[in-house]
Amino acid sequence: MSAFLKIKQQVKLAKVTFVKVALTLSVSLISNSTFAHTQSCFESINIEPSFIGFTETKDNKLGDWYKDTFALTTVKEFSFPDGSVTGVLMNKGEFIVEVFYRNDAVKATDIDALKKHHMTGVMKFGIFTDANLDKLKQCLVEKGIKATRIWKDKNLHLDMLQVTDPSNNVIEVITRQK
């Protein structure tokens, strides 16, 4: 084989290798872009200091929902000595969420009287943020999270995005009007 044919084959091989590398790099960039898209909608949003605690049934995944939705970090998982209660404490800065999973917890929807009436107690809670509520709502809805209306309260000078978690707890994500 002549030197010219060897060089020609090496150039072809180099082109094929280059295409493979370029294709691998493209797939990698697309994958990273997809990963970035699956990150929390709250990843770059500041949440003012607050604390929220929940009681749930043992089989509930509410802690996972809050961790994923609000970009929380697990501080600790815990268990009562008798095993009747387990839980998780999570945070993002000074925004803290604690979930107690109890053996004896009863869902409000399982109590016949409550199916026909409203419960007393906490109806919803609010967290103050620096979020662009329109963009946040769009992001949450794209992820299948129930984010319904944005209320622009002229009396309080606040905008509030209503979000409902899987256990039907209502969260008002609040920003101050400018």
Q: How many domains does the chain have?
A: 1
Q: Is residue 31 part of a domain?
A: no
CATH of the domain at 141: 3.10.180.10
Q: Is residue 156 part of a domain?
A: yes
pLDDT digits (tens, 9 = 90+) for 51-100: 999 999 988 999 999 999 999 999 999 999 999 999 999 999 999 999 99
pLDDT digits (tens, 9 = 90+) for 22-59: 444 444 444 444 444 468 999 999 999 999 999 999 88
Domain that holds residue 96: 50-176
CA distances from 68 to 23, 137, 151, 177 (A): 31, 16, 25, 27
CA distance 28 to 36: 12
Residue at 99: amino acid letter: V
Predicted TM-score of the model (pTM): 0.73
Q: Is residue 34 part of a domain?
A: no
CA distance 10 to 22: 18
The answer on pLDDT for 6 being more than 50 is: yes
Q: Is residue 8 part of a domain?
A: no
Q: Is residue 23 part of a domain?
A: no
CB 159 within 8 A of CB 151: yes
Kindly state the average pLDDT of the residues 144-161: 97
